[in-house]
Structure 1
Amino acid sequence: MADIAPDLKTPTDLPRNDTRSVADALNSALADCYALYLKTKNFHWHVSGPHFRDYHLLLDDQAAQILGVTDAIAERVRKTGNVTLRSIGDISRRQTIKDNDREFVAAEDMLSELRDDNLKLVESFRVVKDAADAAKDNATSGIVDEWTDQAEERAWFLFEASRKG
């Protein structure tokens, strides 16, 4: 991470080097949140089939929840005196969740892919948790638990919605 402009140096009692490792982990998770948000909206817009309404609404709810987390993550980075993502290019360089640009994706495949992506996001949040604990950044450590729980719940809902009766 580049040095921070003097005007952006937010006061913090956390050591600068420790907060940088937490900020790097948070920014990686943030990039994955944006990638997952856009993929979820893509699938929301393009889902079809006999469960259209249920899946359409489920994916819209999940996308809104993911988008809600993005601001909290970025603000946490800034509260620790660091800088966060600035562009789509920045997101694409950091994201680990793969885009899906296929013209058609079957509904069952959408649910499965999003389930796996949410579990990948959980892994990203665990990296954040470890970095925050190592830095004694209690606030980040505490709040990331809620984000993890939300991603696990989304994965569970997607799993249950995809089960064949």
Structure 2
Amino acid sequence: MASAPTDLKTPTDLSSNETKSAADALNGLLADAFALFLKTKNFHWHVSGPHFRDYHLMLDEQAAEIIGITDAIAERVRKIGNTTLRSIGDIARRQTLIDNDREYVAPAAMLAELRDDNSKLVQRIREAREAAEAAGDTATSSMADDWIDQAEKRAWFLFEASRNA
């Protein structure tokens, strides 16, 4: 990611060298959040079977929670003086979570895949938090704690819902 043009350079008291690493980590996290949001919505739209209603509603709630953190992540990147994602292509280049384009996915496989992806997102958030802490960005570090808690809760719900799926 190139440094921000002068007119997009938000003033900050944090070191630009350190915030560059934090911004890169946050942009990677943002890409994975968008990828997980879309996968969660995909499974929400295509879930089937005897637990349809429960899974359909749970996945919709989880997708809303995931998309809810994306603006906060992007705004943290801007507040620390950097620029953020601009396109689907940018997301695709940075995401680490694997898309699922299969025509049919069994409900139990959906829940397991989303559980694992939320657990991977927790790791990505921890990495972003560590980079933010190294940059002295305590605000991002504090917000990351909430994002971790949310992702862990989603993984837990998916685990519990899949016990007899």
TM-score, length basis structure 1:
0.98
Partner Cα distance (2:51, 2:88) in 1: 32
Match of 2:138 in 1: 138
- Identical columns (%): 71
Cα distance in structure 1, aligned partners of 2:8 and 2:39:
32
Matched, 1:85 2:85: yes
Query: Is 1:101 matched up with 2:120?
Result: no
Q: Does 2:37 correspond to 1:37?
A: yes
Shift of 1:3: 2.2
Tell whether 2:60 aligns with 1:60.
yes
Q: Structure 1: where are the runs of 5+ without partners?
A: none
Q: How many residues align?
A: 165
2:33 corresponds to which letter in structure 1?
C
- 1:154 and 1:117 mapped to 2: Cα distance? 10
Q: Which residue of 1 aligns with 2:164?
A: 164
> What is the alpha-carbon root mean square deviation over aligned residues?
0.8
- Mapping for residues 105-144 of structure 1, pairs under 5 Å: 105-144=105-144
Q: Which runs of 4+ in 1 moved over 2 A?
A: none
1:3 counterpart residue number: 3
How far apart are residue 132 of structure 1 and its match?
1.2
- Partner amino acid, structure 2, of 1:5: P
Q: Deviations over 1:61-80 (max 9, x none)?
A: 00000000000000010000
CA distance in 2 between partners of 1:106 and 1:148 (Å): 27
